[in-house]
Chains A and B, each alone.
Chain A
């Protein structure tokens, strides 16, 4: 089956079995190896990508279902300005806070956290950390470095609000 989709803003086409996993289409057919396979059964979130803007496990999406849809992987999070890459607030905050250890969960966490910062109101209140933890519960870090990851997402949300001119 010919599957035409938009990946990180660019039109791509692959000829694959519709039952092939999106994860394999990304990693093997499109050579976008930033998306990692952890458990391969929807438990760990390492393969999180955005499908039409929503965070999903790429191991649980059939390739046929992606025809005509938009996929964003970790490679597509950074923007471009003045000829260079501009990290998403979440990527910058993960770097600044040290929110990564071995790294296998990091791309999935960056993608999921980017959705959180883009789509969910995360305030600076006492409940912010609990809210981030609930929304990130589908991303498992086997190094268990959650504190710094949550720090990073809260900081990224603050950076976003500051960038939008909110207090």
Chain B
């Protein structure tokens, strides 16, 4: 058996070069997904280890109110960041429900985006907050709207020579409400049955902005475009909540698997979105 190759780059440039030099090696960061099956599968040919790579870590304000999160930033830093609490509270809420302390200390936002599981807990939030993914390769840097990033079941827009560098969350309108709900078998350390995240904004009794991101109800994290269309322009209240829930039935393709059933997933996500609309319909209260 040949030993697994290993390199620990000291910069983004070195990491990109390592990825280009070893196209069959995996990029490893917090390892909370990749090591789970380590005893069951053949070892990877090699590892480009970006754990704790300084240029990939940290949370900072950029471009007048946007928040940029380095791809190797662990969830624990998201949970405790005052900037995230102020600008993207639903990302902190989702991060707090990812595994438990030990997973939050190692799992990273770039890993969640890169693995692109339909049950990745942060991914509906990135959809609702209209995040952008920053990718680096020998050809330069490009930014992809997160809504275009997942392309299918665990497939993404990432090219073979690209490295996920950062996630940027644009400044939300100060009047927008952010909502988040994960439904699992227990409060901590469970894989989700469904997840829903929303950004909703009301002006003069009508919804003027609606972005809804959902997880575990399709082969990838998805925006609920039909429900959003039913909400934007509609008045606050029950009728709009019902219309949004009805629209979901037409656009979601939940499956039955070990964690839940298709009918349960649909009914639950409809109820959660219904509650989001009702909650955003009432005058905001500090929570």
Q: Is A82 an interface residue (CB 8 A)?
A: no
* A86 touches B (CB below 8 Å): no
B87 beta carbon closer than 8 Å to chain A: no
> Is the C-beta of A43 less than 8 angstroms from some C-beta in chain B?
yes
A99 near B: Cβ within 8 Å?
no
Flag if A17 contacts B4 (CB, 8 Å). yes
Stretch touching chain B among A6-14, A28-36, A55-63 = A55-63
Interchain CB contact under 8 A, B3 and A138: no
Considering the complex, give the chain B residue whose CB is closest to the CB of A69.
B52
Determine whether the beta carbon of A59 is less than 8 Å from that of B100: no
A44 to B269, CA, bound (A): 29
- Chain B interface category by residue count: 20 to 34
Chain A: minimal CB distance from B194 (Å):
20
Whether a CB of chain B sits under 8 angstroms from the CB of A91 is no
Q: Does A40 sit at the interface, judged by CB under 8 A?
A: yes
Q: How large is the interface on A (under 10, 10 to 19, 20 to 34, 35 or more residues)?
A: 20 to 34
**CB contact list, B31-52 vs A, under 8 A:** 31-32, 35-36, 38-39, 43-44, 47, 49, 51-52
Known interface pairs A54-B76, A61-B35, A137-B187. Does A18 touch B101 (Cβ–Cβ under 8 Å)?
Answer: no
Contact A56 B3 (CB under 8 A): no
Docked CA distance A25–B188 (Å) = 29
Give complex CA distance A43, B103 in Å.
Answer: 9
B146 CB to nearest A CB, Å: 26
Whether B6 sits at the interface, judged by CB under 8 Å, is yes
Q: Which residues of A contact B22 (CB under 8 A)?
A: none
Instruction: For A64, list chain B residues within 8 Å (CB).
Output: 4, 6, 8, 47, 49
Interface on chain B toward A: helix, strand, loop, or mixed SS? loop
Q: How far is the CA of A55 from the CA of B188 in the complex (A)?
A: 16
Per-position 1/0 for B86-109, Cβ under 8 A of A = 000000000000011111011000
User: Is there contact, CB below 8 Å, between B35 and A59?
Assistant: yes
B-chain residues with CB within 8 Å of residue A19 when the two chains form the complex: 4, 38, 43-44, 47
Q: Which B-chain residue is minimally distant from A62 (CB atoms)?
A: B31
Q: What is the minimal beta-carbon distance from A70 to any residue of chain B, in angstroms?
A: 12
Cβ of B11 within 8 Å of any chain A Cβ, yes or no, is no
Q: How far is the CA of A112 from the CA of B101 in the complex (A)?
A: 9
Contacts of A51 in B (CB 8 A): 105-106
Contacts of A96 on B, CB cut-off 8 Å? none
B28 contacts chain A at the CB level, 8 A cutoff: yes
Complex contact A56–B35 (CB within 8 A): no
Cβ–Cβ contact A65 & B51, under 8 A: yes
Chain A residues with CB below 8 A from B43, complex form: 17, 19
**Contact yes or no, A60 B106, CB < 8 A:** yes
CA distance A63 to B36 in the complex (A): 14
Q: How far is the CA of A48 from the CA of B106 in the complex (A)?
A: 12
Instruction: Check if A17 sits within 8 Å of B31, measured CB to CB.
Output: no
What is the CB-to-nearest-CB distance from A8 to chain B, in angstroms, rounded to a whole number? 19
10 A-B pairs besides A42-B103, A57-B106 with CB distance below 8 A are A17-B3, A21-B38, A55-B101, A60-B32, A62-B49, A115-B101, A137-B189, A138-B101, A138-B103, A140-B189
Interchain residue pairs with CB less than 8 A apart (21): A18-B3, A18-B6, A19-B44, A21-B38, A40-B39, A41-B36, A42-B32, A45-B100, A51-B105, A55-B101, A55-B102, A57-B103, A59-B35, A60-B31, A64-B4, A64-B6, A64-B8, A65-B49, A134-B188, A138-B99, A139-B100
> Which 7 pairs show the lowest CB-CB distances between chains A and B?
A138-B100, A137-B188, A18-B6, A137-B100, A19-B4, A60-B35, A54-B105
State the A residues within 8 Å of B (CB): 1, 17-19, 21, 40-43, 45, 48, 51-52, 54-57, 59-62, 64-65, 67, 112, 115, 134-140
